Amino acid sequence: GAPNFTAWNHLSDESLLDGLRIFNRAISQEEIQQIMADDSGEFVSTYPPTFDGEMFYMPFDGSYNERFRNIDATVVGTPGFAGESVEGDNAYAGATDSYLTFPTNESGALTTEEFSATLWYKLNADPTRGSILVMGPEDVDNAGYPDVQNKRTNGFRFFREGDATRQVFKLNVGNGEGESWFDGGDAAALDPTATDWVHLAFTISGTECVVYFDGEVVSQGDFTGVDWTGCDILSIGSGAPRFTEWGHGFDLSFIDELRLYNKALTQQEIQDIRQAGL
């Protein structure tokens, strides 16, 4: 405090200081967050995570707002709201040729070394092929580009396929050179005629990928780590625009409480997250 603030013994401070700036106006909270992000290279949010490692949260309570970044999704087509939910006031309802997208590399990257997703899902098997979440690169070498895309060496694709009574959920992940499939067959199948809300989750680490239904493992296998090159958007409720060649387009199902994490969640953590929503 010397020389003008010494009476109360507030003197030398051996702490570290860096990046000192003084402004000629009152700066906003958003400006402070941006300065912190620019200086540290890390995303800064005032929304408190509910679970360890959580970095993205969409409750779908009447909006398509992502809470950590406080930004709205880009809306393609005319998705809606379900009029029911597991938690909160509402849930996402898919519509024909409709989906949501978010940038993955702005305001804090979603392309982390480890990655997990959890969500509540109410299955509508018409159409019989649909995608739930996709983070993939453009497939510019595809003869049908941009309408037809299917490059699977990077990012992930979480989707379903089957018929009116049996829908199998599959995770495809690229390591930069090739792809790995996590298809649990019957264990990862749901009967649309006898299924209500189901808690879905998957994890991606440098050693394995795991898919869960209601906190139980339905598919698991070795994996060498995801490569996010070119994966600049997240699609919700459709394979479009990056995963369309096999007909995994829009999904008319309901989605609630979508959360993404910067770590590979354990089975116990996934069970705890599911239980918190009941």
3-class SS string, 192-222:
HHHCCEEEEEEEECCCEEEEEECCEEEEEEE
Nearest to 176 by CA among 155, 157, 159: 155
Supply the CATH classification number for the domain 51-276. Answer: 2.60.120.200
pLDDT in tens, 98-120: 999 999 986 568 999 999 999 99
The pair of three-digit structure tokens given for residue 1, joined into one six-digit string: 């405090």
Q: What are the angstrom distances between the C-alpha of 188 and each of 24, 103, 243? A: 59, 29, 21
Coil, strand or helix at 93: strand
Domains of the chain, by residue range, sit at 51-276
Q: Which residues of the chain have pLDDT under 70?
A: 30, 33, 37-38, 40-45, 106-108
d(CA 237, CA 133): 6
Is the bond preceding residue 137 a cis peptide, omega within 30 degrees?
no
Instruction: Provide DSSP, 152-205.
Output: -SSSEEEEEEE-SS-EEEEEEEE-SS-EEEEE-GGGGEE-GGG--EEEEEEEE-
Tell me the pTM.
0.86
Q: Give me the pLDDT at residue 79, please.
A: 98
DSSP letter assigned to residue 49:
P
User: What pLDDT was estimated at residue 105?
Assistant: 85
Pair of tokens at residue 94: 């898919």
With CA atoms as reference, report the closest residue to 130 among 232, 243, 258.
243
- Cα distance between residue 37 and residue 29, in whole Å: 12
Rounded to whole angstroms, the Cα distance separating 76 from 96 reads 10
Q: How many CB atoms lie within 10 A of CB 64?
A: 17
Strand partners, 58: 258
Rounded CA gap, 56 and 53, in Å?
Answer: 9
Question: What six digits make up the tokens of 235?
Answer: 């699609």
Q: What is the pLDDT of residue 37?
A: 60
